[in-house]
Amino acid sequence: MIQVDSCVVCGGALSTQRPAKVTSFLAQRIWRRKPFPVKLSECSECGFMFFNPRLEASEENALYTGYRGPEYQQMRYSFEPWYTEKFNAGLSTPESWQHRKKLLSDLFQNRLKLGGRSFVNVLDFGGDRGDLIASLVPASRKFVYEISGVDLVEGVEPLRSLEECRQHHFDLIITSNVLEHVGSPCNLIEQIASLSGPDTLVFNEVPYESVADVRTRLKRIAQIGLLIATRPASAWQTLGPGMLNLMHEHVNYFAPQSLNRLMQVSGFNVLDGGDYALSQGFLGERMVWNLSQKK
């Protein structure tokens, strides 16, 4: 892990450093150790929130190799009783993908006015099996760059290295639910910049969330209560300072301002941006997005 003293997006000063803790699952999955304390940092300039210290590339690989596969699911369930096989499978049902693609398709057509633009090659960077882009952009050749080694859905071509990606020109590059997972968001956007031409559009979307929001707080309290009832050893390791600021797979928390700032400091012009509701209700989820192009 890498300790940082300034914002990993804009380099600004850190206004707060709250106590936090690595979850039992993450600690075991990456380091084969018990949970340990970290900090939740917030930038005073762009508002970006992140766990500190940061994951290195080898640690990310240890976490995401075989992501959500049988071994991953069994290991996670041993620490988190709510992460059942049914729950894991339910994260990517045809119905959930159809709902997400409908929302993005409407956004592309109505807000971004991309319906009349021709996209020959489209890349989903970190796109898992390629479910999102399989039918999102019609009449295009679709690629996924993914390190987990999962099998892709029909009609999507795998790219297993940046070198393979550089063999193609992309009209559109998408990152969806990726930037919240990585230790160095700027490094990832630099990789995308290296794959982008002057006419390439880059669309990013991330969860609009915070460790301190009501939805996350209520979820953490419910999870700790379930741990106490069913996994007392894990619960005992979780309790203490920082127990509501748990470092899990989401190590970054973006708002519109910080997502836009990430692209700007990485050499992009932000063409448009905003947020939309992924699900409805008081505890409904929202997504932050922007559309950018290299300067």
* In a shared domain, residues 219 and 268: no
* In a shared domain, residues 75 and 36: yes
* In a shared domain, residues 204 and 226: no
Which of the residue ranges 95-99, 137-141, 226-230 has the most confident prediction, judged by mean pLDDT?
226-230
Q: Identify the H or E element spanning 17.
A: strand 14-22
4, part of any domain: no
Q: Which residue range(s) make up the domain with 139?
A: 94-208+254-294
Find the mean pLDDT for residues 254-282.
91
pLDDT greater at residue 58 or residue 118:
58
3, part of any domain: no
CA distances, 192 to each of 32, 186, 215, 272 (Å)? 32, 10, 32, 18
pLDDT digits (tens, 9 = 90+) for 207-223: 998 777 777 888 888 88
pLDDT at 278 over 90: no
Find the mean pLDDT for residues 264-277.
94
75, part of any domain: yes
* In a shared domain, residues 118 and 178: yes
Based on the structure, what is the number of domains in the chain? Answer: 2
* In a shared domain, residues 262 and 181: yes
223, part of any domain: yes
Find the mean pLDDT for residues 60-87.
91
74, part of any domain: yes
* In a shared domain, residues 232 and 204: no
Tell me the CATH number at 273.
3.40.50.150
pLDDT digits (tens, 9 = 90+) for 41-68: 999 999 999 999 999 999 998 998 888 8
5, part of any domain: no
* In a shared domain, residues 281 and 166: yes
* In a shared domain, residues 236 and 198: no
pLDDT at 145 over 70: yes
* In a shared domain, residues 150 and 274: yes
- Gap between the Cα atoms of 77 and 111, Å rounded: 40
* In a shared domain, residues 236 and 99: no
* In a shared domain, residues 73 and 139: no
Question: Whole-structure pTM over 0.75, yes or no?
Answer: yes
Whether 64 and 182 have beta carbons less than 8 Å apart is answered as no
DSSP-derived letter for residue 29 is I
* In a shared domain, residues 134 and 280: yes
1, part of any domain: no
8, part of any domain: no
pLDDT at 116 over 70: no
pLDDT greater at residue 90 or residue 23:
23
The DSSP secondary structure of 128-153, one letter per residue, reads TTSTTTTTTSTTSEEEEE-SS-PPPP
For residue 21, the model assigns a pLDDT of 94
For residue 35, the model assigns a pLDDT of 93
Encoding tokens for residue 281? 């209700």
For residue 115, the model assigns a pLDDT of 60
Percentage of the chain lying above the pLDDT 90 cut = 60
